[in-house]
Amino acid sequence: SSELTQDPVVSVALGQTVRITCQGDSLRTYFATWYQQQKPGQTPVLLIYGENIRPSGIPERFSGSISGTTASLTITGAQAEDEADYYCNSRDNSGNVIFGGGTKLTVL
């Protein structure tokens, strides 16, 4: 498969833990990267890349993991400001750059 599949909508209660997933065959070979986009059209923010690496300034409540062909972004103790769109990013089996379709996270 040359796609990354994400659930379109996920919700979480304030302060609870939520997992956003990204499924793709190429994730057996390549890491998934995660971005947060506060509003469509705004600049995405790099959250997680490689083996669970957080760039400077990204809160510790964001973490990444992989199991087989499914990568996960976990937010431990979701905050109101975490309500946003989340995109995974990796390569397909030909090495081309691909993005998942995005997950809209609602914090209740």
**Taking Cα atoms as reference points, which of 16, 27, 33, 100 lies closest to residue 73?**
33
Q: Is 54 in the site for another protein (CB under 8 A)?
A: no
Q: Does 39 bind another protein (CB under 8 A)?
A: no
Alpha-carbon distance of 92 to 79, in angstroms, equals 32
Determine, following the binding rule CB under 8 A, whether residue 1 of this chain makes contact with another protein.
Answer: no
**Taking contact as CB under 8 A, which single stretch among the options 14-22, 68-76, 82-90 is the one that binds another protein?**
82-90
Structure tokens at 108: 């209740």
Contact between residue 19 and residue 72 where contact means Cβ atoms under 8 Å apart: yes
Q: Which stretch binds another protein (CB under 8 A): 17-25, 46-54, 68-76?
A: 46-54
Task: Rule CB under 8 A: say whether 59 interacts with another protein.
Answer: no
Q: Nearest approach, Cβ of 85 to another protein (angstroms)?
A: 8
Q: How many residues of this chain bind another protein (CB under 8 A)?
A: 29
Sheet strands (E) in 4-108: 5-6, 9-12, 18-23, 33-37, 45-48, 62-67, 70-75, 84-91, 97-99, 103-107
Round to whole Å and give the CA distance between 105 and 33.
17
Judged by CB under 8 A, which stretch of 14-22, 33-41, 69-77 contacts another protein? 33-41
Binding site for another protein (CB under 8 A): 29-31, 33, 35, 40-44, 46, 49-51, 53, 55, 87, 89-91, 94-102
